[in-house]
Structure 1
Amino acid sequence: MNLAYLRTHSYYSLLESLLSPEDLALTAQEFDIHALALTDYQYLTGAIEFYEACLQAGVKPILGLEIDLTYHGHTGRIGFLAKDKEGWSNLSRLSSITLVDNRSIDCDTLHAHRAGLICTLGGKNGLFRELFFNTPAELKLSQHLLSDLKTIFDQDCFFEIQRYANGPLKNEQAVIQIARQLDLPLVASQNIHYRDPKDHALFQTLSAIRQNKPIAQQLKKDRLSLPLHFPTRADFLHRFQDYPDALTNLSHIVDRCNVDLPIGQTHFPTFPTPDGVSQSDYLRMRAYGGAKRIYHQITPEIKARLDQELAIISEMGYEPIFLIMEDVLEQTRHLGIPTSSRGSAASSLVAHVLNITSPDPIALNLYFERFLNPARKKPPDIDTDIASHRRDEVIKYVFEKYHPDQVAMVGTINRYRPKSALVDVAKAYGLDPATVRQLSNKLPSSFTYRSIPEVDSADPFSSLLGEGVNPIIKDIVNDAKAILDMPRHLSVHPGGIVIAPFPIKDLIPIMHSTSLGVNHTQYDLLGIEKLGMVKIDLLGVRGLTVLGEVAEQIQSWHQKEYQNSFQVLEQIPQDDSKTAITISTAKTIGCFQVESPGMRATLREIGAKSVEDIMTALALYRPGPLRGGLRDAFVRRFREEEAVIHIHESLEDLLSETQGVILYQEQVLRIAHELGGLSIAQADLLRRAMSHFDAGNVMDTLRENFITGAIHRKAVPFETAERIWEMMAAFAGYGFPKAHAASYAQLAWNSAWCKTHYPAEFMCAVLGFGGGYYSQRVYLMEARRLGLKVNPPHVNHSNERFRTIYPNGLPILYMGLGQVRDLTQKTIRKIIDQRPFYSLDDFLIRVDPHRKEARNLLLCSAFEGLTTIPAGLDHIKHQHIPGQFNLFSEPQTDEDWDLTQKAKAAQEVLGISLEISPLEQFADQIQSVGAVSTLEAENLIGEKIFLAGMRQAFRRFRNKSNQMLGLLTLEDLEGSISVFFPADIFRQSQMTLAEQGPFLVEGYVEKDERSHRIRVIAKRIHLLS
């Protein structure tokens, strides 16, 4: 007979199963099980994977769900199976109700969502059994429950008999008798949570993690004693041989359940057009209106390009996405929120004239087909960067404008990585927090957050094992390995938003993020794509927040010149000579995308002076060009130290702007199209196939077409055409979209302009919004190098974040009150609302802070000019202030602390000292060895030097001999320089290099003949202390 298991759980029943959906399908195939139902608890996250895996394995998939039902104040689990499309929708709605409202369902909710569902109940941990084995009154209630459910589901209500390897459940006959009395059909069942009996111990570990209890103290031990493995066909049939009707009913259920998930269909949202105009006509009208505004005159070239793009957009049904994005970005401009485009959407002229993207695709010779063409199997995203601190305003607008029921953030699945697996398993084994921390610290940092495919054959836990290791540690490591890559919890994608033409939960289950206050899908990007949902990306970027803050400040000073802050950014000159100097000299710390040591070195080496040069630098400083030597080759050709040689003369026009090398994905398209005769759509298919290393028929066909086309169109010899093909294939793995580079290069230029002309406001914004590539200390040193005065927080001058004031015409940056440890938002608001303060007593009376808050404000010099630190501490010790801790013993005095004492106190409550830089504290030691500055070092090539500084950045890497090397970027008050650690020196210095500094380095200065980079070759490094 055809056999089916109706109560299986995948690891998407979070921390309740060891099996992936694919594991379930393959095991069913191996055991000759005809059909399988996935009934994960609360979540439908695994449904798509399960559905596809079953079809692949030749097993009929049945989609189900297990959720909590509350009946007259009692709650327990109940199961549902979807019969058809409506049943799937109701599964999705029930799961969404449970996880959005964070509640169980009731019978009224079930009645409203009964269509297309089969109800199964009676199993272990089910609501019926929770009632049945209690008081006589609850026994009667259990009978009413069965009766009510039968009334709701009629012939689609079944009573489960669950039998396990260790026998039937308690009081089976009594339970069956009640089901028979109510004429409820029986069905054979068993909960399945792992594959083999040997997996039971690991399942206990997982259950302990879920319950946050040590294994020895787990709750519901009776459940954990059940063998919940996947039974063989023979075992299952044998268990239920005395109830043939329960087995026959399995077939009836399987026959009724026929859900076809709409995989491959696309569900575009709708845009509310005025006066009933079609979306296609409205988009055309908007596009031509925008083109006239931007170009003033619509030339034949522009008209042809617009008509071509609009035809493809219409053919693919993509009009609403363009209209929605135009609307959303118009709202950001109305709210004064800076934005920028990213990705290939900047290749579209329609997107450009609708103000969705900023780069001009005609001027940059960008192909629309790189973004959208009929050969693409799925519609691409339009990605937009938004100032991070105001992104929530834009998301709120999208939810409200396009209806909350039809909008959701995209979900993400957070899986176990080596560190999180080790920590959770160690806790389950009952290890104390200190031991758990000690164990996790032993994991190599390179493995801490990596997933299984990235780890490959390397064992992330090898450092924990060895001879004489405690057997418990071995067990912990084995269990941690076993749960790697299992889902741990669901979260929210940083920017993806789905907008549907119908209530989302009709097709896709959703849940609520309490921390963000929004609903998100239970599926990740892959899942929503498979079910045909189209997303937009609104990604928060701190660099835009910085630009927005500076622009608002500039606009407030020059209101006659700028109506709003947007105009400030739009009118930044592209040929500003001072900004060009900032870029070419790589004084770009704090500037978007161009502040890392490697990027700054690239800017210097190519003498970048324009947006176009920054585009080149962004494309060059990527893993592929760096590994393949392409970057260095470009630099040598750029400096005319090496001739530009083309494989074939036909490439000269195509690669002239990039020194004869391929830097951009668009160049692959041009070569394939203009040299090989492929259509642009075919060329983009080639680019995508190459970048995904497709070794199938698609690549073979395109290769043949390209080589044939190159021979006939441009008279390229066969061997040369093959070499060009291989060059394109080698490039594809690291290709960078020119459209993306153009967008980001413009942001980088704007950042550099702001830093050049408004350094105080720029550094204030960078520091106020968490910086970027570096730690706060690096940005504070950069502010000092720019000649800016930075003060600690002050009750009369500081806002929550960094603030700039001009008391005597010169800027002073004040650190934000938000950085003071233990200072609450409520107190910060009161300080800002109540000031100015005229004395410490005035402050204490009006703000009424907690004693700890007053103490910390004093320790960071926030009352400078109002009282001294020791006097203030002594004063509040004797005052009645909320918080009863008598922490102070300083004598009352008018004499303030010295700089060293203030620096120590500031470090305690701010996490950093502004009074004395770390290098200044060791000035005597530094001078005693004759250390030079980083600026002086650049003029001492070939000489042995001592150099003192702080760690700005550090990376380790392996050479061709697999030896580990190190590269430290060392900074002082005059600049920064690279310090290279050869393998032997690196081995000796690893412990020291783990610190932040200050360091004293001994070495000699060298200038690389090929790259012209100046660096120090380290001989020794010491930590100053």
Structure 2
Amino acid sequence: MVELAKRYNMSAIGLTDHGAMYGVIDFYSTCVKNGIKPIIGAELYIANRSRFDKEPGTDNKRYHLTVLAKNNTGYHNLIHLITAAHLEGYYYKPRVDKDLLRLHADGLVALSGCVAGELGRALQSGTRDRAENVIREYQEIFGKENYYIEVTHHPEIEHFQEWRASLIDLSGRLNIPLVATQDSHYLHPDDALAHKTLIAISTNSDISDTAIFSGNGQYHFISTEEALELFKDIPEAVANTERVAQQCNVTLELGKFIFPDFPLEQGKTADQMLDELTYSGACDRHLTQNPEAEERRRYELEIIRQKNYAPYFLVVADLLRFARESGIYTTVRGSAAGSLVAYLSGITNVDPLEFQLPFERFLNPFRPSAPDIDMDFADNRREEVIDYAKKKYGDDKVAQIGTFGTMMARGAVRDVARALGKPYELGDSIARLIPMGLQGLPMTIEHAMEMQPELNRLYDTNPEVRHILDISKKLEGTIRHVSVHAAGVVIAPRPLVEYVPIQYDPKESGKRITQYDMYTIGEDGVGLTKLDFLGIRNLAILENAVRLIQKHCGVEINIEEIPFDDKKTFAMLARGETEGLFQLNGTNMTSYLKELEPTTIYDINAMVALYRPGPMNNIPEYIARKHGKKPITYFHPKAEKFLSK
């Protein structure tokens, strides 16, 4: 959309999704990068009565109202409106009411809405007095200078010309400016069928359903020249779009890190508390007299201090402390193992000095990226840790992060075929010709056609197949549904609604999630602290196994004290006894372990690192070197010190 606006030499464009703000940050960032002013807004659903009224047959009726943020105050008020619409007013759709509008009208511009707006409905009922009362009420809410009569061009709608004429008449008589808008739901005119198909998919219908699809209106993105032609009888309505754009000046500060408000001891800073925590950890591990450890601790703490990351470490250390004290099995994976500060503060249980792990792989002093520590918890007790965070920081400051499910190649083909009214067998037979993605990368229809001659042949010879695939290619990658990120949790220093719009998880009543996803909520967007709480089934299995051993055998086991050099364990892995072992089970990994015949923890570390999409092809080479079948070489003599094990 932004690329098209740039091609049309537009100075500003607006985003007004229905009842949501999912795309706001991406939209804003993309506009700014392309030199186009972003106008942030939403098409609100206005409740027929109160947003709390939910009576069937009465309160499922609602009106549309377009609102735009004039400034940052308006942007934050829009977030409040969208959040309240979802958390308080949801009834078929997320709704606000006039009381809520009055509370959060500051900094907003209102357009009267489309034919489904309250003004449009009043005019359709033929009651001019009611229409004028509607206008006066919205002017009272937003201020006369912030209210416009919105006019669109959709002549396919019944009585459209009469409605349009009434709007123009009201504008002239009441001296209220007209503003022309285009209800753009897709980019190009030839995307109309794909859009209709997408609606059919989301409503579980097909495009022949006249109750949903009527008329052939154009809802594509139009140029200024097209707008001037469509509204040639009221050119001032097009000119007023520039007037509205000049009113809207939201400036977001993105990429600035915002950490939770960790409770500090009186008179101490976060850096001082982290220093004390790590020194205490060094004492517990008998490292205070180790010059290398003390030098490394000081080095890491200084980098953390320079980047103001101490609160993050304190928060993570506290969460893991709670888990361990509560008997919840937990661990940390990834590059955090390279941090001595993480080890000494109880975040990890790996000594980076012993294993020669570099801190810079975790936190590079020359890059602005935030630390990222993945916390694993037994999946049956993960919610306990999230509940602890809510109690510590405030229920309104913690939420799980939303994510978006997209249409993948195979699913898109099956869904499109169904929406077009085709037999299931046809869509399924086409989808089966599309290979699965390799090494974690999704397969696209275009790539599948390059790989599969039969799919290409059908596309060239069968018009029905070509039609399905052409529409599927347009819908491939589009967002299909909102869900909850598997691990992401956000903790803010103030109520989350001051930063991001919130809604309920569509599949779990009462669970709040963010409308911004992990990318737009984190360091590339709003800047809030994203924490990964991964629920791991294997940790729950371990916890249960330890409990059963104690119950039936009277033996207490601390899994964090199991030695890394146990020969029986390596022999078991070499025999392929990997069932239930996290990251070491599975047919391919088991096969490689049997070939490798591991004898040290370093063999296991290497295998886990190699068994991923990028380096996977090097596994046979590593095994051959392990057994002396191929020579061991290093890219530089100094590397031998770190890689020889």
TM-score, normalization by structure 2? 0.89
Closer/same/farther in 2, CA of residues 655 and 294 from structure 1, 3 Å limit? closer
Closer/same/farther in 2, CA of residues 218 and 323 from structure 1, 3 Å limit? farther
Question: Which of 535, 548, 553 matches 2:548?
Answer: 553
Question: Which of 558, 581, 590 matches 2:580?
Answer: 590
Shift of 1:106: 0.1
Does the 8 A contact of 1:555 with 1:568 survive in 2?
A: no
The residue that corresponds to 1:967 in the other structure is none
Matched, 1:300 2:288: no
Does the 8 A contact of 2:68 with 2:108 survive in 1?
A: yes
**1:499 aligned partner, one-letter code:** I
Does the 8 A contact of 1:418 with 1:460 survive in 2?
A: no
Distance 2:637 2:457 in 1: 59
The residue that corresponds to 1:638 in the other structure is 626
Closer/same/farther in 2, CA of residues 215 and 623 from structure 1, 3 Å limit? closer
Shift of 1:492: 1.5
Closer/same/farther in 2, CA of residues 166 and 31 from structure 1, 3 Å limit? farther
The residue that corresponds to 2:45 in the other structure is 68
1:215 is paired with a residue whose SS is coil
Distance 1:30 1:49 in 2: 19
Distance 1:29 1:647 in 2: 47
Matched, 1:82 2:73: no
Distance 1:602 1:303 in 2: 40
Distance 1:433 1:637 in 2: 52
The residue that corresponds to 1:326 in the other structure is 317
Question: Which of 222, 245, 254 matches 1:254?
Answer: 245
Distance 1:77 1:279 in 2: 48
Does the 8 A contact of 1:159 with 1:184 survive in 2?
A: yes
Distance 2:332 2:438 in 1: 33
**1:483 aligned partner, one-letter code:** L
Closer/same/farther in 2, CA of residues 645 and 64 from structure 1, 3 Å limit? closer
Does the 8 A contact of 2:402 with 2:513 survive in 1?
A: yes
The residue that corresponds to 1:934 in the other structure is none
Matched, 1:149 2:142: no
Does the 8 A contact of 1:439 with 1:464 survive in 2?
A: no
The residue that corresponds to 1:518 in the other structure is 511
Distance 2:301 2:638 in 1: 32
The residue that corresponds to 1:228 in the other structure is 219
Distance 2:620 2:440 in 1: 32
**1:56 aligned partner, one-letter code:** K
Which whole-Å deviations, capped at 9, do the CAs of 1:76-135 have from their partners, x for residues lacking one? 211111111111112222222233443300011111111111111142332322343137
Does the 8 A contact of 1:338 with 1:387 survive in 2?
A: yes
Closer/same/farther in 2, CA of residues 453 and 313 from structure 1, 3 Å limit? farther
The residue that corresponds to 2:332 in the other structure is 341
The residue that corresponds to 2:609 in the other structure is 619
The residue that corresponds to 1:499 in the other structure is 491
Closer/same/farther in 2, CA of residues 337 and 230 from structure 1, 3 Å limit? same
Does the 8 A contact of 2:328 with 2:377 survive in 1?
A: yes
Matched, 1:116 2:107: yes
The residue that corresponds to 2:644 in the other structure is 656
Question: Which of 595, 601, 605 matches 2:591?
Answer: 601
Closer/same/farther in 2, CA of residues 442 and 140 from structure 1, 3 Å limit? farther
Shift of 1:644: 3.4
Closer/same/farther in 2, CA of residues 374 and 83 from structure 1, 3 Å limit? farther
CA RMSD of aligned residues (A): 2.9
Closer/same/farther in 2, CA of residues 161 and 634 from structure 1, 3 Å limit? closer
Shift of 1:539: 0.8
**1:494 aligned partner, one-letter code:** A
Question: Which of 407, 414, 429 matches 1:416?
Answer: 407
Does the 8 A contact of 2:279 with 2:288 survive in 1?
A: no
Farther off after superposition, 202-211 or 100-109: 202-211
Does the 8 A contact of 2:458 with 2:465 survive in 1?
A: no
Distance 2:325 2:644 in 1: 42
1:556 is paired with a residue whose SS is helix
Does the 8 A contact of 2:459 with 2:466 survive in 1?
A: no
1:217 is paired with a residue whose SS is coil
Does the 8 A contact of 2:565 with 2:601 survive in 1?
A: no
1:466 is paired with a residue whose SS is helix
**1:549 aligned partner, one-letter code:** N
Does the 8 A contact of 2:430 with 2:465 survive in 1?
A: no
1:640 is paired with a residue whose SS is coil
Question: Which of 230, 234, 237 matches 1:243?
Answer: 234
Shift of 1:436: 4.6
The gaps in structure 2 that reach 5 residues or longer are: 50-58
Distance 2:518 2:637 in 1: 43
Question: Which of 193, 196, 200 matches 1:201?
Answer: 193
Indicate the structure (1 or 2) with the bigger Cα radius of gyration.
Answer: 1
Q: How many pairs align?
A: 624
Shift of 1:301: 2.4
Closer/same/farther in 2, CA of residues 573 and 31 from structure 1, 3 Å limit? closer
2:9 is paired with a residue whose SS is coil
1:582-981 to 2 correspondences below 5 Å: 582-627=572-617, 630-646=618-634, 649-657=637-645
Shift of 1:324: 1.0
Shift of 1:29: 1.9
Distance 2:598 2:298 in 1: 37
Shift of 1:181: 4.6
Which whole-Å deviations, capped at 9, do the CAs of 1:965-1024 have from their partners, x for residues lacking one? xxxxxxxxxxxxxxxxxxxxxxxxxxxxxxxxxxxxxxxxxxxxxxxxxxxxxxxxxxxx
Closer/same/farther in 2, CA of residues 398 and 454 from structure 1, 3 Å limit? farther
**1:655 aligned partner, one-letter code:** L
Shift of 1:279: 1.6
1:238-387 to 2 correspondences below 5 Å: 238-295=229-286, 297-387=288-378
1:389 is paired with a residue whose SS is coil
Distance 1:311 1:434 in 2: 63
The residue that corresponds to 2:153 in the other structure is 163
Question: Which of 494, 502, 509 matches 2:501?
Answer: 509
Distance 2:6 2:418 in 1: 36
TM-score, normalization by structure 1? 0.57
Shift of 1:253: 1.2
Q: Percent identity?
A: 32
Distance 2:280 2:27 in 1: 48
Shift of 1:495: 0.6
Does the 8 A contact of 2:356 with 2:642 survive in 1?
A: no
Distance 1:239 1:573 in 2: 77
Closer/same/farther in 2, CA of residues 648 and 377 from structure 1, 3 Å limit? closer
Distance 2:213 2:594 in 1: 66
**1:430 aligned partner, one-letter code:** G
Shift of 1:474: 3.0
**1:612 aligned partner, one-letter code:** Y
Distance 2:166 2:483 in 1: 44
Does the 8 A contact of 1:268 with 1:317 survive in 2?
A: no
Which whole-Å deviations, capped at 9, do the CAs of 1:341-383 have from their partners, x for residues lacking one? 1111111111111211111111112222221133122202111
1:96 is paired with a residue whose SS is helix
**2:580 aligned partner, one-letter code:** G
Which whole-Å deviations, capped at 9, do the CAs of 1:825-883 have from their partners, x for residues lacking one? xxxxxxxxxxxxxxxxxxxxxxxxxxxxxxxxxxxxxxxxxxxxxxxxxxxxxxxxxxx
Distance 1:646 1:234 in 2: 64
Distance 1:611 1:590 in 2: 18
1:174 is paired with a residue whose SS is helix
Distance 2:283 2:493 in 1: 32
Distance 1:617 1:173 in 2: 72
**1:78 aligned partner, one-letter code:** L
Closer/same/farther in 2, CA of residues 556 and 348 from structure 1, 3 Å limit? same
Distance 1:361 1:609 in 2: 21
The residue that corresponds to 2:52 in the other structure is none
**1:127 aligned partner, one-letter code:** E
Distance 2:272 2:115 in 1: 59
The residue that corresponds to 2:16 in the other structure is 39
Matched, 1:532 2:527: yes
**1:45 aligned partner, one-letter code:** Y
**2:182 aligned partner, one-letter code:** Q
Question: Which of 417, 420, 424 matches 1:426?
Answer: 417
Closer/same/farther in 2, CA of residues 119 and 520 from structure 1, 3 Å limit? same
Which whole-Å deviations, capped at 9, do the CAs of 1:575-609 have from their partners, x for residues lacking one? 43432321233322322222233333333333313
